[in-house]
Amino acid sequence: MRILTLDIAPGADLDEAHLCDTYGISRTPLREVLQRLGGEGYLRLAANRGAKAASMDLAVMRTFFQTAPLIYATIARLAAENRQDDQLPGLKAIQARFRQATEAGDAGDAAILNHRFHQAIGRMAQNPYLMPSLSRMLIDHTRLSQTFYRPASAPERALVGKACDQHEAMIAAIEAREPAVAVELTLQHWDLSRDRMERFVRPDPLPLDVAGLKENRHAV
């Protein structure tokens, strides 16, 4: 959870002694946890160098933005085709909590609930090959979406509200077994948040006093 909410920064070294103290466990069970988290993509483990939170460097982000819409669209299609009736109430309950979190301005909860929303759709797809890819991708998507769920203006808050509405439309399409509609809505949902997420790796430049630079361009 701390990795997903950026409380542990991407690429940060993990201090085993500190983690043992924090969670009240010994090194043996901690290392079992780290091995599992490494296998799921949360951490990178290197021999004799300890564990690091999975990085979000340029290569990782490039692959993420290339791959995410493909996986989400395929998962949405399969979910609409394969979902079970008893899976729908759980998805709707996650969505209700997601809307509450966004309306309350709780970026951390909103990002985690969005993560769980897409995980639930992934389980509906019933595809053992795609689910590991979705789970790995959601780690980085959730970290990136911390930016999206912290709107800084009225238009940005409107985008978050629209994302909530799109979730509910996606649920309706999956419930009605309309795979083409589910795919289209999913791609619209991806496009809605993509530009905001890209600001995580492409922030606005620092303020620059251009006039001051011109006045002092000959200064030594």
Q: Is residue 117 part of a domain?
A: yes
Q: CB neighbours of 119 closer than 8 A, spacing ≥ 6? A: 134, 135, 138
pLDDT digits (tens), the chain, 220 positions: 999 999 999 999 999 999 999 999 999 999 999 999 999 999 998 877 789 999 998 888 899 999 999 999 999 999 999 999 999 999 999 999 999 999 999 988 999 999 999 999 999 999 999 999 999 999 999 998 888 888 888 988 999 999 999 999 999 999 999 999 999 999 999 998 887 776 656 666 666 655 555 555 554 4
Alpha helices of the chain — where are they, by DSSP H? 16-23, 27-40, 58-82, 88-103, 107-125, 130-148, 154-175, 179-198, 210-215
pTM for the model stands at 0.84
The number of distinct structural domains making up the chain is: 2
Per-residue confidence (pLDDT) for residue 193, from 0 to 100: 80
Does residue 140 share a domain with residue 47?
no
Q: Is residue 146 part of a domain?
A: yes
Q: What is the SS3 string spanning 98-129?
A: HHHHHHCCCHHHHHHHHHHHHHHHHHHHCCCC
Per-residue confidence (pLDDT) for residue 134, from 0 to 100: 96
Does residue 146 share a domain with residue 110?
yes
Per-residue confidence (pLDDT) for residue 147, from 0 to 100: 82
Per-residue confidence (pLDDT) for residue 150, from 0 to 100: 86
Does residue 32 share a domain with residue 93?
no
Query: Which range marks the domain in which residue 173 is found?
Result: 58-198
Q: CB neighbours of 194 closer than 8 A, spacing ≥ 6? A: 65
CATH code (residue 43): 1.10.10.10
Does residue 125 share a domain with residue 112?
yes
- The whole-angstrom separation of Cα 94 and Cα 90 is 6
Q: Are 111 and 149 in contact (CB under 8 A)?
A: yes
